Amino acid sequence: MTMNDMLLEMQGIHKTFGAVEALTDVSLQVRRGRVHALIGENGAGKSTLMKILSGGLQPDSGSMLMDGQPYRVHSPKDARSHGVSMIYQELTLTPHQTVEENITLGAEKSRFGVLKGQAASIHRALDQLGYGGLDANTRVRTLGVGVQQIVEIARSLFLQARLLIMDEPTSSLSAEDTRSLFDAIRRLRQKGVTVIYISHFLEEVQEIADDYTVLRDGRSVAYGSMSGTSLSRLVTAMVGRPLEEMFPRSHRRMGPVALEVEHLAGPPRVQDVSFSVHSGEILGIAGLIGSGRTEMLRCLYGVTPAESGSVKVKGRDLKLHRHSAGTAIRASMGLVSEDRKNEGLAVGLPIRDNMSLSSLARYAGKNGMGALDMAAEARDVTERSKALSIKYRSIKDPILSLSGGNQQKVVLGRILMEGGDILFLDEPTRGIDVKSKVEIYTLIGRLANEGKAVVMVSSYLPELFGICDNLAVMHRGRLSPVMPVRQWTEESVMAWATTGKMKASGTMPRGRKR
């Protein structure tokens, strides 16, 4: 590697927050015109390091070089003036404005107080990403999430970015949008733009990245070329020990039918859903984003009203016309929403309240109308937290002080405190690190061993194949027959998800129908 190859060098970076040492002697070397993956668990220091690079934080010590010259910035605006731009996981667009207004926001040019058009520069930025035909007068709110992300990247290119930092860019994208984004990233690489790519999806990282750096516990522990680097090597570097089994499986026996669904339909995307799930079973639901998977769970849990069909819980009919989240809890159901921040957690409350919020009546005497037994509540929350291996200092700490994986465990703890025997899990490992994923997989398996019936929606096929007993696929609001996981392949899942058939001919391997 020559000096001309190197765009960015960060050496000996230290950063502390009070008594917490976020970064210790971290080094990062990024070659020009490459895609460099920054990998690590939640809390490993990735975000802190990138905030230092993009001007949001100042390091306590260490040095940075850009193009071989000292680099020190004091704000994101300062970083952008050096060609460094960060694209966050949560897009920072103004949806009521046009594509052009979003791309030029904060960089408008005017003459005598009148804004000048910058159509050529905007078109050039979009064309670099393969979206030269996008109408710059389109309101951003009318665009899909994938195209909105393209607009965000185009804004950075419009501002002459030569180093783009992408933080979990595919966390909310469909498979098709992810492919489009990767095409755009490859175009940028061909034009000499450098990308630092942060993601928990290691298969994506292997596909798109040229080089990688692994952070663990605030230290840089591994660096190399992605070519020839195995998934197991990356995981071992991330967690500090070999993971013998990414998807731990346990031998379990299924009990009686816990939930029976017949011809369920409801707005806006559930057309015809029939299946059953037994106590002790993990049933996976695959399908494309927008196929109706989430809406199906919300109908079953009573968040969205069902229009027709029947549901039996342990043999008893559920009255769908007056079904609600309250009746679902009383029927021993629990739901983990895919939107953890907005629906799964009360972000303004501490860990303790988030875990016990829907179970407070049990701690109040006089049929739930008396004073709360705060000591009993705290004891149960503490015991549940320990059982789930939640890492925290105090149950009074803010919920947002926890990593994403630990937040998800709190959500699971809450539905377990409710006493649910039928668990609906919607993307339960989205946005959490590899080690936390394995812990969640182990927990789900343990719950099934205890006799819980689990219905798990996921866009990540390896985890569905890895931990589920049976699998079905949604296509335009309709559910395929349920079959043992071993009778599915990735090809047959995608065929059903895209066409509603197992194969182009419409044939399907023999399997158990329910």
Global pTM value? 0.66
User: Who has greater pLDDT, 248 or 451?
Assistant: 451
Out of 3.40.50.300, 3.40.50.720, 3.40.50.700, 3.40.50.1700, the CATH code matching 257-350+420-499 is: 3.40.50.300
Q: How confident is the model at residue 503 (pLDDT cuts 50, 70, 90)?
A: low
Element (H, E) at 9: strand 6-17
Q: How far apart are CA 46 and CA 403, in angstroms?
A: 13
Q: What is the mean pLDDT of residues 184-210?
A: 91
Residues 142, 145, 147, 152: is their CA dihedral positive or negative? positive
Residue 171 exposed, middle or buried by CB count within 10 Å (0-12, 13-18, 19+):
middle
Question: Is the bond preceding residue 305 a cis peptide, omega within 30 degrees?
Answer: no
pLDDT of residue 215: 93
pLDDT at 366: 66
Residue 505: pLDDT band with limits 50, 70, 90: very low
**pLDDT value at 104 more than 80:** yes
pLDDT, the chain, mean = 87
For 251-296, write each residue's pLDDT tens digit. Answer: 788 999 999 999 999 988 899 999 999 999 999 999 987 889 999 9
- Sorted by where each begins, the domain ranges of the chain are 24-239, 257-350+420-499
Q: What pLDDT is recorded for position 2?
A: 52
Residue 42 has pLDDT above 90, yes or no: no
Instruction: Report how far apart, in Å, the C-alpha atoms of 320 and of each of 41, 64, 146, 257, 327 are.
Output: 42, 61, 36, 19, 10
pLDDT score recorded for residue 507: 40
| pLDDT tens column, 311-339 | 999 999 999 989 999 899 889 999 999 88
24-239 and 257-350+420-499 share one fold: yes
Q: Is pLDDT above 60 for 3?
A: no
Query: Residue-wise over 416-452: b if at least 16 C-beta within 10 A, else e?
Result: bbbebbbbbbbbbbbbbbbbbbbbbbbbbbebbeebb
Region label for 50, one of left (φ > 0), alpha (ψ between -120 and 50) or beta (otherwise): alpha
Tell me if 132 sits within 8 A of 123, measured CB to CB. Answer: yes
pLDDT for 301 beyond 70? yes
The C-alpha atoms of residue 189 and residue 163 are separated, in whole angstroms, by 10
Per the CB < 8 A criterion, the answer to whether 158 and 104 are in contact is: yes
Strand partners, 111: 114
For residues 509 and 296, the model is more confident at: 296
Beta bridge partners of 37: 197, 212
Specify the residue for token string 């670099």. 128
Query: pLDDT-derived band of residue 114, with 50, 70 and 90 as boundaries?
Result: very low
Residues with Cβ < 8 Å from 282, sequence gap 6 or more? 444, 445, 448, 454, 456, 467, 468, 469, 470
Provide the CATH topology of domain 24-239.
Rossmann fold (3.40.50)
In whole angstroms, give the CA distance from residue 362 to residue 482.
37
| pLDDT per position as a tens digit, 57-81 | 999 999 999 999 999 999 999 999 9
Q: How confident is the model at residue 513 (pLDDT cuts 50, 70, 90)?
A: very low
Question: Which tens digit of pLDDT belongs to each residue from 124-172?
Answer: 888 888 888 889 899 999 988 888 888 988 988 888 899 999 988 887 7
User: Of 420, 398, 415, nearest to 356 (Cα)?
Assistant: 415
